[in-house]
Amino acid sequence: MPLLNLEDISLSFSGKVVLEGVSFSVHRGEIVTLIGPNGAGKSTIMKIALGLQEPDQGKVTRAAGISIGYMPQKIMITDILPLTVKDFLKMRWGVSLSEVREVMDLVRISHVAESPVQRISGGEMQRVLMARALLGHPDLLVLDEPIQGVDIAGQQELYHLIGKIRTEKSCGILMISHDLHLVMAGTDKVICLNRHICCSGHPQKIQDHPEYHAMLGRHVDGITLYTHDHDHHHDDQGNVIHGDLRDEKTCSHD
C-alpha cells in the first residue's frame, strides 16, 4: 500500500495541456525525485498530490490518516507582519514548543529562532521551511526544490539530512530537484516529467561521470547524476514524437 498514489492524472488550463496521463506512487521509506524543464508541470503535479489542485482526470490516493509535511518552493512574507522564525514554526497545528526546538536543532537554525523571517538568508529560509515540513512527525514529505538557492556545502548537508530522516523516520519523500541532471544520492526513483512522464528509473552513481566533474569541478558527496535515455523527443509545441532524433529538438532538457 503506497503512501501516495497518482493514477493517470491529466490537467489542462484553458485548453493548454499541463499534464497528461501521469501515474506514479511513493512508498514508505522511498525517495522519489521529479526532474524536468521549466513549465513541465512539476509543481502542478505536486499540488495535485497534496490536494491543493484538482486534476481534470485521474485519481489521487493518499493513505488514510497519514501526516504530510510540505515544503513549498518559496514563501513571500510581507514585511508588515512581525514574525520570528520560532513563531513561524509554531504555526503548525498541534506542535509543542519542545518539538519546535528539537526540529530547529536538527536543521541547525536555532541561532535565528528569534530573528524576523524576513531578515534571514535564503539558505536559512530553506532550512526553516524544511523544519516546518518536519514538524508533526510526517509520514510523507513533499519538498519543492528543497536545496534551491543553497550553496554547495549547504546542499550536501540538507541532502544528508533528508537521507537521515528517511532512514530514521522511514517516511516517504517526494521532491522536485531544481537541477535537471543532479538528484540526491539515495533517490530510489527519478521521474523525468515534461507534461507526461518521459522516463523514470534509478539514478546512476556519478562518481566517475565526466559530465559531473565538468559541472562541479570537484567531488561532492550526496549528489547523484541521472542520465536520460529517451525513446522519444518533443516538437516545438512539446508534443511527443517517438524515436530519437538527435538533430531535431530533442526532449528539451536532454
Q: Applying CB under 8 A, does 93 fall inside the site for another protein?
A: yes
Residue 233 contacts residue 241 (beta carbons within 8 Å): yes
Using DSSP's 3-state secondary structure scheme, residue 208 falls into coil
Work out which of 37, 58, 72, 238 binds another protein, going by CB under 8 A.
72
Residue with smaller CB distance to another protein, 82 or 210: 82
Q: Applying CB under 8 A, does 70 fall inside the site for another protein?
A: yes
Sheet of 172-176, strand order: 68-71, 140-144, 172-176, 31-35, 189-194, 196-201
Q: Applying CB under 8 A, does 17 fall inside the site for another protein?
A: no
Please choose, out of 4-12, 23-31, 78-86, 240-248, the segment that lies near another protein by the rule CB under 8 A: 78-86
Residue with smaller CB distance to another protein, 53 or 200: 53
Residue with smaller CB distance to another protein, 131 or 206: 131
Residue with smaller CB distance to another protein, 61 or 167: 61
Nearest distance from residue 190's CB to another protein, in Å?
24
d(CA 26, CA 168): 17
Helix ranges (H only) for the chain are 42-50, 85-90, 97-106, 122-134, 152-169, 210-216
Nearest distance from residue 36's CB to another protein, in Å?
20
d(CA 226, CA 210): 13
DSSP secondary structure code for residue 137 in this structure:
-
